[in-house]
Structure 1
Amino acid sequence: MVELIAESMEQTGYFNTTVETYEWNTYVGRVLDPEYQNNGFIPCIGLSGTFNPGSFSNALHHSTNIGACCNLNGISDPEIDELMDSARYGVDVAEDADLRAERYDEVWNYLAEERYSSITHFNLATSVSNTDLHGFEMWPFQDGMYSYNMFAPQDEQIMWVDRDNAAGDSELSDLSEGGTLSLAFGANIESFDPPHSSDTTSTLAQNFLFESLTDNDAQGNVYPWLAESYELLNTSSIERIAYADYMSTVGTTEEGAIDTDEQVVMQHPEDSPAEDDEVRVLLPDDATAAAEDGTFGMQYRYNLQEGVEFHNGDELTADDVVATYEYVENSVLAPQTFDSLLTAVKVDEYTVDLYAQVPDAEAERELPGLLILNASQIEAVEKGNIDPREGNLPVGTGPYEFAEFEDAQYYEVTKFDNYWTEQKGVSEAFSWFDGSDEFPDGPVIDGFEVEIVPDNSTRSGALQNGEIDSTYGLNTSTLDDFKSSEEFLVYGVETGGYEYIQYPVNVAPFDDARLRQAINHLIPRERIVENVFSGYGRPAWTPIPQLAQGSGTADADALEEELKPMNEYNVERAEELLEQVAADN
């Protein structure tokens, strides 16, 4: 894909391009380095969004995400920050979905003009399984693909292994219990420590072991999970400046960063670390004091399931939830957690309140999104070290427990004997469940054996040779062969995943929007989808996929009609813009 873009740029006569490639984990380390934004490179990377439209704008463009995932080139524009905030934060958009959609349309139009990033296409997530795997359905986010299929009563989704009967039109009445499923992951598991990792493969591995307070169905609706129930108790129409009296004063560095080792929950909106020697910030203790005094945007109360057991035998309580939220401070997930979260407060043994800084249209899904960890383990390890390579086996409440891991080779989990939904029964565990009496009380597969095989062709061969039962992310050129075979099933769905390039906006000449617009017109989106991905994708004429359009645009068809001409391959228009840039330089 990158080579096609580079070739297109070269053909104009205005560019000399060089493509550099790296092993995946090395590359992620490079592009997330805060110094990366100064080198003038154009990174290309894939990102998985969510059901929330903000994940297709804020992650790439909000100034609070500089150096995090995934504002890679230091984009800092107060106007787009304000537009994105106005589409997400405030009582008006939290209560009016139509207004929220209209404001996001303003975001998409602004980004189309400024062209800080170019989303090339939305992925079609695919997986291939042999016919021993029954009941599988694609989930629109790769990192939840197997955990969703293991056990999702919200959609009556369950998969099982039956090596005597071929999958195809399997029904719940055909379900058989037991067996071990063999999978292949396309990259090494870099971390078993959820707040300290953000790559898809690590999350895939963690989702066997850990669970959240809530879960989603395939349409994005939110259901209580580790929380038996939850409710919005209070909403206050406040802005972040309301926290000024609770803020602490800290210094700044010569590089224009805030000089503190504590998590900055928020910065005073009138202060600038780049310009001021001192700035006012809200630190975790300050945030808790504000919430206790009644200064907060939203207050959600989560009533925990009782009798939920961690793999080490501890019972889940409010202490585990609060400890998890404290553990996320200064982690990889901190920027996308503290863009909304104010604080987590224990009410009693089985009740926790999560507070949002200001009214947030995404709070219901975002606040409870963390995988819940065990407080005893958190106390015993250094941050980021919940990992067998550090001698710390991960401990969660999930349906499977850690069994074995050999770095860069394989990973195994086995069914947890005391999994809480099986102890309670699915109907008792989930008051919202109104499915079939045949639906099981928990996953039915005994264990998973995961081979780590980075090479797509090798994974494809392993599947064809019967060495594994299922994998994902194969070269699209091979999918038609699997489709034509009666021995395999190919699954696909448009996802929240997208690939993009991002321009080094702080390095000349990329600080000129016309240059960025020109390169955007040189991206052959349709050729990329058809020739590189064999049709398994959709050109990104707008920055928002189908799954987030409900709250992300007032009219998806009208938005595409408006923005598509700005994203189409158009060498003539690109050269006009390049001539203008050249004339002014």
Structure 2
Amino acid sequence: MVRNTKQSRSSIKRRRVLQGIGAAGAISISGCLGGDDSDAPFDIQLEVNSDNDDRVQMVELIASSLEESGYFNTEIEDYEWNNYIARVMDPAYAEDGYVPCIGLSGTFNPESFCQALHHSENHGQCCNLNGIDDPELDDMLDDARYGVDVVEDPDLRRERYDEIWERLAEERYSSITHFDLDAAVMNTDVHGFNMFPFSESIFDYGLFSPQDEQVMWMDEDAHPDDTDLSDLQEGGTLRIGAAENPDSFDPPYSTDTTSTMAQVFVFEQLLTSDRDGNLYPWLAESYELVDTQDIDRTDYEEYMTEVDVDEEGALDTDEQVIVQHPEDDPADGSVRVLTPDEAAAAVDDGVFGMQFRYEIREGVEFHNGEELTAEHVVATVERYEGSDLSAQTFDSLLHAREVDEYTVDLYAQIPDAEAERELPGLYIHSLEQADLEGGDLDPREDNDPIGTGPYVFEEISDEQYFEYSRNEDYWVSELGVEQIDWFDGSSEFPDGPVIDELEVEVVPDNSTRSGALQSDEIDITYGLTTDDLDGYDDSDDYVVESIEAGGYEYIQYPMHVEPWDDDRLRRAVNLLVPRESIVENVLNGWARPAWTDIPELAEENGTADAAALEDKIRPYNEYDPERAEELLEEVIEDHDLD
């Protein structure tokens, strides 16, 4: 429920302490660094969210490096996070000519670290911010993921990804600066916590994850260095300091990590993953690959309908486009497409790429008492149609079909090497909420989120806090963790999370959030500046847990705006990005320079030889002002710039 702040003065007063300086404490860096009198031939406006101090300083360092070259007038504009996300995700942003800086959180699959930024279908979703549209690259991205050849031959798949990393280095649509090191800081009342490599899942993973025998608990009387699972205590409240206000509690209608972090206490998926990326059945008791067929997207031609395309390239249909005919050119004014009804007809006729079958656990209940069935999975897939995550969902998913009450089939459009992880990557909805309008599944719209998860949503005071209580009827607790087939952990491991209450305080300002930890207003937080991390790491009164994240920071170039359409300009700017200086001087070593575009956790499936790839790609990305100058002079001469 949404709490009426006028009726809750005592609770709000406590939380206002946490808000502290709020927006007034954010670093403001707007303005021209070089001044209007500079005669440098290139103007560049870098953009960043103001509430991430390290990111702001990184952008300032990049701007300084560009100005020192003598070729750039640089200006930096900063925005509050939610405004910034809305700004850079607007498809029209690509025509403004700005260079945004943001972070990406991927998956264990290598495609998420190249496709999300660079596939044309992801423009306006996450995270193709500047309208990158390269048909040849689109084909390369598809060829590394789709087709029986890469499904059956992992080595071929790795080789094709290596070709993609090289292509991205040559074209340089985006500059990856560094691989993040995610770190959580906690007081010594928090025990058993371990980090997960994706920031949106660090807390739900830490609270209870049988796949890694991971559980956390509260204990005021001992230091976490001196306790283990045998010392576990039940009960208590965990107070989390969140860096942002959740933009949405509606899984298909949110793209930021804070929103997902708020959702995953409540919602669950058919499968789960350990810290190494291994998959385990979760809401599904088991699953199997039933069939793979060697088809491509042209095989859906007879099921397709024709839709018009407007002058801006938008399709004139309100239905979800599952497949667009690959041979059709939108410039002709119309294209053939496959919509959900036609996809079902194709499956009826046995036309599909892959078929996975999931056996749903019987007896799993939603917070409202509904029992999970195959119908819930199908309804969830339908709710993802036309959502903010539709491009990522229906880049592979063709159709969901209820086989019987506890069996559901998910079909891939064509053979997909990443389908096992990607197809079931949906947060399963209750039937009560599956028909809600997009964005309405939110307590601020009078719809408290309902899931199967270990915690039940309780209340929110927007921009201040949101709270959860432990689900006393959690299905794992009812089942018993030892009844999960794959669990082989200690008999001391609990049957569910042991912490009773979660209070998530929204504290956007880093220094205020750090102060709240020191004044015992919160127990744990994340996203602090690296200067703060150094101090906490040296203290016996706090614990810092860190892990190289499945994500990175990047800037992206407006390739449709002159002169950024010249790859020499993009490569020159990239050579002026001081990656090592960013890591050492801004991040104090709490990161790793990005010499390639693929983090370590995705290397197994994303490169044939990680060391050889770095040797080949690193020269494209090392700081090299002399080579940058050569490229810039070529651009100036060819574009007749003064």
Question: Shorter-chain-normalised TM-score: which range?
Answer: over 0.9
Determine which of 514, 517, 523 is the counterpart of 2:568.
514
C-alpha distance in structure 2 between counterparts of 1:118 and 1:406, whole Å: 38
- 2:452 counterpart residue number: 397
Q: Alignment length, in residue pairs? A: 582
Is residue 2:255 matched to residue 1:204? Answer: no
Determine which of 375, 378, 382 is the counterpart of 2:434.
378
C-alpha distance in structure 2 between counterparts of 1:476 and 1:561, whole Å: 29
Structure 1 residue 170 displacement after superposition: 2.5
Q: TM-score, normalised by structure 1?
A: 0.99
SS at match of 1:168: helix
Deviation track 1:507-553 (CA, whole Å, cap 9, x = no partner) reads: 11011111110000000001111111111101100000100000000
C-alpha distance in structure 1 between counterparts of 2:306 and 2:538, whole Å: 65
- 2:591 counterpart residue number: 537
Is residue 2:393 matched to residue 1:337? Answer: yes
- The 5 A counterparts of 1:28-177 are 28-177=85-234
- 1:489 counterpart residue number: 543
C-alpha distance in structure 2 between counterparts of 1:476 and 1:296, whole Å: 49
- 1:410 counterpart residue number: 465
Give unpaired runs (5+ residues) of structure 1: none
Return the letter of the residue paired with 1:104. Answer: Y
Structure 1 residue 272 displacement after superposition: 2.1
C-alpha distance in structure 2 between counterparts of 1:499 and 1:481, whole Å: 23
Return the letter of the residue paired with 1:20. Answer: E
Deviation track 1:66-115 (CA, whole Å, cap 9, x = no partner) reads: 12111111111111111111111111111221111111000000110011
Q: Report sequence identity in percent.
A: 63
Please, what is the CA RMSD of the aligned residues? 0.8
Is residue 2:277 matched to residue 1:277? Answer: no
Structure 1 residue 169 displacement after superposition: 4.2
C-alpha distance in structure 1 between counterparts of 2:437 and 2:110, whole Å: 34
Is residue 2:257 matched to residue 1:187? Answer: no
Deviation track 1:361-383 (CA, whole Å, cap 9, x = no partner) reads: 1101110011101012223x222
C-alpha distance in structure 1 between counterparts of 2:519 and 2:294, whole Å: 61
Structure 1 residue 211 displacement after superposition: 0.3
SS at match of 2:503: strand
CA 208–66 in structure 1, closer or farther in 2 if over 3 Å, else same: same
Return the letter of the residue paired with 2:629. Answer: E
- 1:499 counterpart residue number: 553
Structure 1 residue 191 displacement after superposition: 0.7
C-alpha distance in structure 2 between counterparts of 1:181 and 1:42, whole Å: 39
C-alpha distance in structure 1 between counterparts of 2:457 and 2:187, whole Å: 25
C-alpha distance in structure 1 between counterparts of 2:85 and 2:512, whole Å: 23
C-alpha distance in structure 1 between counterparts of 2:433 and 2:128, whole Å: 32
SS at match of 2:215: coil
- 2:579 counterpart residue number: 525
SS at match of 1:126: strand
Return the letter of the residue paired with 1:544. Answer: I
Structure 1 residue 311 displacement after superposition: 0.4
C-alpha distance in structure 2 between counterparts of 1:315 and 1:281, whole Å: 36
Determine which of 297, 304, 308 is the counterpart of 1:240.
297
C-alpha distance in structure 2 between counterparts of 1:550 and 1:509, whole Å: 37
Deviation track 1:344-400 (CA, whole Å, cap 9, x = no partner) reads: 111111111000001111101110011101012223x22220011111111000011
SS at match of 2:164: helix
Deviation track 1:265-314 (CA, whole Å, cap 9, x = no partner) reads: 110001122x1222100101111111121111100000000000100011
- 1:263 counterpart residue number: 320
C-alpha distance in structure 1 between counterparts of 2:132 and 2:374, whole Å: 38
Return the letter of the residue paired with 1:540. Answer: A
C-alpha distance in structure 2 between counterparts of 1:552 and 1:213, whole Å: 25
Determine which of 545, 564, 567 is the counterpart of 2:621.
567
- The 5 A counterparts of 1:287-436 are 287-379=343-435, 381-428=436-483, 430-436=484-490
C-alpha distance in structure 2 between counterparts of 1:169 and 1:372, whole Å: 39
Return the letter of the residue paired with 2:85. Answer: V
Give unpaired runs (5+ residues) of structure 2: 1-57
C-alpha distance in structure 2 between counterparts of 1:358 and 1:385, whole Å: 33
Return the letter of the residue paired with 1:168. Answer: D
C-alpha distance in structure 2 between counterparts of 1:276 and 1:259, whole Å: 14
C-alpha distance in structure 2 between counterparts of 1:74 and 1:455, whole Å: 31
SS at match of 2:630: helix
Return the letter of the residue paired with 2:519. Answer: N
Is residue 2:513 matched to residue 1:459? Answer: yes
C-alpha distance in structure 1 between counterparts of 2:127 and 2:226, whole Å: 41
Structure 1 residue 164 displacement after superposition: 1.5
C-alpha distance in structure 2 between counterparts of 1:30 and 1:344, whole Å: 34
Deviation track 1:232-271 (CA, whole Å, cap 9, x = no partner) reads: 0000011111111111111111212111111111100011
C-alpha distance in structure 1 between counterparts of 2:177 and 2:388, whole Å: 25
C-alpha distance in structure 2 between counterparts of 1:243 and 1:174, whole Å: 58
Return the letter of the residue paired with 1:303. Answer: E
- State the 4+ residue runs in structure 1 displaced beyond 2 angstroms: none
- 1:215 counterpart residue number: 272
SS at match of 1:256: coil
C-alpha distance in structure 2 between counterparts of 1:68 and 1:398, whole Å: 27
SS at match of 2:332: coil
Deviation track 1:182-220 (CA, whole Å, cap 9, x = no partner) reads: 111000011110010011111111111010000000000
C-alpha distance in structure 2 between counterparts of 1:76 and 1:483, whole Å: 44
